[in-house]
């Protein structure tokens, strides 16, 4: 194995990423070295590419970016057990601490010391990744590397969708990005009665209808009150999954909920937003903020669902060799793609 590798690096404090030769990471006693086969491009990676205000405050220049991946273990530290050389895997990209109350209680996804690969620590847009063995998620043979590379965002969708009981419920999803579309597929798989997804992007709505049995609604053309009547829902939606980060979408969702409705929020608004709290109070609505995945319960759930018929393969709309990474980012930045996967196996 060569001592150097290709890596996509935030090399300069300006828009873009740059391909560089980097040293292969050295692993510690509790780490594994993963040879990367496929990576997914995330919305977070687009923020880093664009070098927006959040990225400037958060991401150090010189960082290898990327956090959605699938690969295989090629080296293991001396303390690692339960894994094997050549084992296919993905992994949890949140690196947790061990001292907080939340972590010591096993609520790892709530640990305030969490750091993210590809955001705070060296990431997966590279031929090799060092990862704590604790974070490794083995991939069953019936889950491909393409799907393995998007388990991180699928986990966000699963965590959000399974925040509330969905069986026989009417579900509204605002935001038909890749995670919103996957949440719709999860809701349908979990037994929801009606699943409606809203957006103003016709390409994304068309993709949602291709991926799963969902009612796509362009809110520029159709009112949700008319959709509720058309679907013969007496009062409105039981569960809302807010994936867009749009204040207007959240306002529409609140109005479309039943009394006592439940809303899980994954979308992040671009700044502070005015909220009509009296409307939420008088409708007795429960709000839950969602961050990342429940480590590792969400991983178990989504792998089980994938093995039991959940199909999100069509949410991947573009595949590129890593040398064409700029085309991959252009596709993702267009706002019309689903998930974009980069192939690192070509050399």
Cβ burial, residue 271 (10 Å; 0-12/13-18/19+) = exposed
Among candidate residues 47, 58, 286, 318, the one labeled active-site is: 47
Q: Yes or no: say if 153 and 98 are a contact pair by the CB < 8 Å rule.
A: no
**Residue 271's Cα: distance from chain center in Å?**
21
| CA dihedral for 78, 80, 86, 91, sign (positive or negative) | negative
Q: Please tell me what DSSP assigns to residue 256.
A: H
H-run or E-run covering 34: strand 31-41
Q: Please tell me what DSSP assigns to residue 216.
A: E
Cβ burial, residue 74 (10 Å; 0-12/13-18/19+) = middle
323-341 burial code (b ≥16 CB/10 A, e <16) = eebeebbebbbeeebbbbb
Among candidate residues 39, 44, 174, 212, the one labeled active-site is: 44
- Looking at the DSSP bridge assignments, the partners of residue 137 are 90
Q: Yes or no: say if 137 and 328 are a contact pair by the CB < 8 Å rule.
A: no
Say whether 47 is catalytic: yes
Closest CA to 336 of 181, 158, 148: 181
Cα–Cα distances in Å, from 248 out to 230, 264, 273, 321?
22, 16, 10, 38
Closest CA to 258 of 174, 172, 135, 198: 172
Give the active site residues.
Answer: 44, 47
């Amino acid at each position: 194995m060569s001592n150097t590798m290709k890596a996509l690096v935030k090399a300069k404090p300006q828009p873009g990423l740059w391909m560089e030769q980097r040293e292969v990471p050295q692993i510690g006693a509790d780490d594994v070295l993963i040879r990367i086969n496929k990576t997914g491009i995330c919305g977070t990676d687009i923020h880093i590419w664009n070098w927006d205000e959040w990225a400037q405050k958060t991401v150090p220049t010189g960082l290898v970016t990327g956090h959605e991946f699938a690969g295989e273990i090629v080296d293991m530290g001396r303390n690692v057990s339960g894994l094997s050389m050549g084992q296919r895997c993905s992994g949890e990209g949140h690196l947790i601490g061990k001292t907080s109350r939340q972590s010591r209680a096993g609520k790892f996804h709530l640990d305030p010391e969490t750091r993210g690969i590809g955001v705070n620590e060296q990431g997966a847009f590279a031929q090799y990744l060092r990862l704590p063995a604790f974070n490794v998620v083995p991939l069953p043979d019936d889950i491909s590397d393409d799907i393995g590379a998007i388990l991180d965002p699928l986990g966000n969708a699963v965590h959000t969708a399974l925040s509330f009981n969905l069986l026989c419920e009417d579900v509204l999803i605002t935001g038909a990005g890749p995670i919103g579309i996957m949440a719709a597929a999860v809701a349908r798989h979990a037994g929801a009665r009606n699943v409606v997804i809203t957006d103003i992007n016709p390409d994304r709505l068309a993709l949602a209808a291709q991926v799963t049995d969902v009612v796509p609604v362009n809110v520029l053309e159709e009112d949700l009150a008319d959709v509720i009547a058309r679907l013969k829902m007496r009062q409105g939606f039981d569960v809302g999954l807010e994936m867009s980060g749009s204040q207007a979408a959240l306002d529409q969702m609140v109005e479309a909920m039943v009394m006592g409705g439940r809303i899980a929020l994954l979308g992040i608004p671009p700044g502070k937003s005015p909220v009509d709290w009296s409307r939420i109070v008088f409708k007795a609505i429960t709000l839950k903020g969602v961050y990342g995945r429940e480590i590792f319960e969400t991983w178990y759930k989504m792998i089980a669902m994938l093995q039991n018929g959940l199909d999100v393969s069509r949410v991947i709309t573009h595949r590129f060799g890593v040398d064409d990474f700029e085309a991959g980012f252009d596709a993702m930045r267009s706002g019309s793609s689903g998930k974009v996967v980069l192939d690192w196996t070509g050399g």
